[in-house]
Structure 1
Amino acid sequence: MSRTKLLIHLATLFAAFAVDFSGAISCYSRDKSTGRANGTVSNCTSDSACYRYTADEVSYAGCGTCSAADTRDYNCESCTADYCNTWPPLTGCLYAKGEYRKEKWVKVSCSQASCYQFSYGYGPTIFFFAGCGDCADYGNFDNCKTCATDYCNSAKVLTAEQTNLMLTAAGGLLVMVMQLWGHG
């Protein structure tokens, strides 16, 4: 081997050791998993974060940050430490962002140890909100409740005003039905 080729090989070898992997992170990867395992290990050389989310008890994880859609629809969480997107997380919670029909709620897994829920009325419609964490970010809602067991945020939370509104509407409907049947 010529001296020039030897120098080129040595330079290539030294360059491989000189590459800075400080921005790299190691994450678990899962795609459509229903198992309880963390998944496979991925060395994410071009990312500095890991993500994790669930959609109806199917889990996803990998390198990178959460997309806006995954954060909005599935309560995706990003983290920045090696292997921070472990499975299972601490708590299972229901997730709803302004849903008025409970069948639209999604089961998600959370790294926080608690779940929250609250409701908001606009006219005759009541919108429900639920997710991972506590009520600290929702202090404007007096009916926000925090709980700490799996899927504990499944009950509807209503203020007295919203309950009275619903009872008044139901009573009015009953009066109309009775009038239509000739009982009023």
Structure 2
Amino acid sequence: MAEKKSILLLLPTLQLNGSSETLAALKKKAAILPNADATGLEALAASLGGKTVDSAALAGAEDALLVVNGDEAALAAALEAADRRTLIVVAAADGVAFYGLAINGKAGSVDRKVCAQDIAVTIATISDLPVVEDCTGAVIYQVMKNPNLKLEEIKKLKEALMRMESVIQRDNREPWDKHDCA
């Protein structure tokens, strides 16, 4: 199973309300928080285990949280490197945009005021990163497809565990005998 990955783009010169092909691609499926204050987000990302890289290193990186400082070219590189298991968070001059994994692309603009702590804990929640014990942020559920994301994941894991236990109790490994992973 592929691991979840997050890319945090710190783009202080980018205006989310600007117009370009890259911004249009982002805004098409992003939830935008125009009332976001991302001050201190880079330090919080480091506390989550974020690794600072340049945009050229995005394609091959395997770290759970990548932090990129840059401009619109970095945004284009991140959108190119992303797959269905990637969360992209863009901290721009005029707000923050969430794009990709578990994000409701139809949310549009969310008027909730958020701070860097909220953004960091939302990234951690979606990407399964450990949160530090002195965290005071709140998950930004308004940008998520399913506010009960973690409950659904736990439910699926419990169901899979029950199926595996029933197979073990029957002492019948038929489904696994057909695969090399057994």
> TM-score under structure 1 normalisation?
0.30
The structure that is strand-richer by fraction is 1
Larger radius of gyration: 1
Give the structure-2-normalised TM-score. 0.31
More helix by share: 2
Higher relative contact order (CA 8 A, sep 6+): 2
